[in-house]
Amino acid sequence: DVKVTQSSRYLVKRTGEKVFLECVQDMDHENMFWYRQDPGLGLRLIYFSYDVKMKEKGDIPEGYSVSREKKERFSLILESASTNQTSMYLCASSSLVGRSNDGQFFGPGTRLTVL
């Protein structure tokens, strides 16, 4: 069964801390994505990656960075956590466009609270 795993389901951090959210997929997908989801705002794309060591900014990259050193792993980094980064963070992966009739596969999410 295909799987996207995220390092934590729940995380509580303090303002100013550096936060690492890890995502691993076992489907050999080229594409990986990080979203945040907030009530009334829907899914918003933070960063995505089409290949190892490649990254592209999404709609709301400010305050975040990413790392993709290996194909299966995509990390989201909050350089200095702030309270407005309290949110549900979702990682997803997908195969290259046109290669399949599948969509994106999402992880279970990490609910991050910044105090």
**Which residues of the shown chain bind other proteins in the complex (CB under 8 A)?**
4, 31, 33, 40-43, 45, 48, 50, 56, 58, 90, 92, 97, 101-109, 111
Tell me whether residue 26 or residue 102 sits nearer to other proteins (CB atom).
Answer: 102
Q: Measured between alpha carbons, how far is 85 from 54 in angstroms, rounded to an integer?
A: 24
Compare residues 58 and 63 and give the one whose CB is closer to other proteins: 58
Give least dist CB 45 to other proteins, A. 6
Nearer to other proteins, 2 or 82 (CB): 2
Instruction: Give the nearest distance from C-beta 80 to other proteins in angstroms.
Output: 26
Beta carbons of 109 and 90 less than 8 angstroms apart: yes
DSSP label at residue 35:
E
Q: Which is nearer to other proteins, 42 or 84 (CB)?
A: 42
Tokens representing 17 are: 């801390």
- Residue 112's SS3 state is strand
* Closest distance to other proteins from the beta carbon of 63 (Å): 20
What is each CA distance from 15 to 5, 18, 34, 82, 93, in whole angstroms? Answer: 26, 9, 21, 5, 29
